[in-house]
Amino acid sequence: MTTPEDRTDPLTSDRAPDLTPDRAPVVAGLLLAAGGGRRLGGRPKALLVHRGRPLVEHAVGVLRAAGCEVVHVVLGASADAVRERAELPGCVLVDNPEWAAGMGSSLRAGLASLAADPRGVDAALVSLVDQPGIGAEAVARVRAAYGSRDSLAAASYDGRRGHPVLFGAGHWAGVAETAVGDRGARDYLAAHRDAIAPVDCSDVAEPYDIDTEADLKRLE
C-alpha cells in the first residue's frame, strides 16, 4: 500500500536533514552516463573502451579516488549491457528511461536518487562519463570547495566554467526545475553566476568530450 510519505518528492521534501555537529558531510559523486553516442554511430559512451575497460568504470574510479565514497551513476542507453559488462561495485545505478530527451532528464533522475539516499547526501559532485581528461586531482579540488548545503562551485579551465560541478543540496530542487533538454544545469548556473565559486583546474586536467569518431583517438 502506498502512503503519502512514499509519494513525497525527495527533492522538495521538507524533512529535516541530519545535521548533527559530529556528522561528516557527505559529498557524493553523481556520474551522468546515459548518453547513446549518436555521433559515434549509436555506441553508448559508457561502454567505450578506455585503458582496457568500459569508460564508465574509469569515470567511477576517478570519483572514488577524489574521495567520493557515495557514487550514483545514471544509466540510459544500453543500460542492461552496461550492468553486464562494467564492474561498478558499491555504486547506486539509476535508470533514466527518458535519457534520449537529453542531459537534463539524467540530472533530474540523479538528483532525485541522491535525495532519497538514506546516508543523507549534502552535496552532489556532478561529472560526465565522456571526459576522461578530467582526473581525480581536479575532481578533488572541486569537492574541497564544499562548505555547506548551499555551496555552489565549478571547475574552471582558462577562465571557462566546466565539470565537475558541485551543487549543495539546497540547490537541487532549483536545478531539477530548470534542467531540460540538453542544457542540463546551464540555465540554473547562469541565473546564479555570482554565487558560483570557480575552482581553477587548468593545470591538472583537460575538459575535452568524446563526442565524435575523431575524438576516439583520445581514449587509451
Q: Residues 127-136: what's their mean pLDDT?
A: 98
Burial class (CB in 10 A: 0-12, 13-18, 19+), 7: exposed
Q: 174 near 11, Cβ under 8 Å? A: no
The set of residues, in sequence order, having a beta carbon less than 8 Å from that of 16 and lying 6+ positions away, is: none
Residue 15 in this model has a pLDDT that exceeds 50: no
Q: Is the pLDDT of residue 91 over 90?
A: yes
Can you give the pLDDT at residue 20?
A: 58
Phi, psi of 51 (to 5 degrees): 55, 35
Alpha helices in the chain (DSSP H): 55-65, 79-85, 103-116, 136-143, 172-178, 186-191
Q: How confident is the model at residue 11, as a pLDDT?
A: 74
pLDDT confidence band for 1 (50 / 70 / 90): very low
| Model pLDDT for residues 112-126, shown as the tens digit of each residue | 999 999 999 999 999
The amino acid at residue 104 is: G
Q: Mean pLDDT score of the chain, rounded to an integer? A: 92
- What pLDDT shows up at residue 53? 96
Q: Which residues contact 190 (CB under 8 A, 6 or more apart)?
A: none
CA pair distance 76, 125, nearest whole angstrom: 19
* pLDDT over 50 (residue 2): no
- CA distances to 112, 123, 203 from 7, rounded to whole Å, are 13, 23, 46
Residue 61 has pLDDT above 50, yes or no: yes
Cα–Cα distance list, 5 to 13, 14, 183 (Å): 9, 11, 31
Mention every residue, 6+ apart, whose C-beta is less than 8 A from residue 6: none
Provide the pairing of β-strand 123-128 with 92-95: unpaired
Look at residue 219 and tell me whether its pLDDT is greater than 50: yes
Q: Which class for 6: exposed (0-12), middle (13-18), buried (19 or more C-beta within 10 A)?
A: exposed
Supply the pTM of this predicted model. 0.91
Question: Is the confidence at residue 3, as pLDDT, over 50?
Answer: no
Percent of the chain with pLDDT over 70: 91
- In angstroms and rounded to an integer, the radius of gyration of the C-alpha atoms of the chain is 17
Question: Residue 4's pLDDT band (boundaries 50, 70, 90)?
Answer: very low
Cell numbers placing 59: 569515470
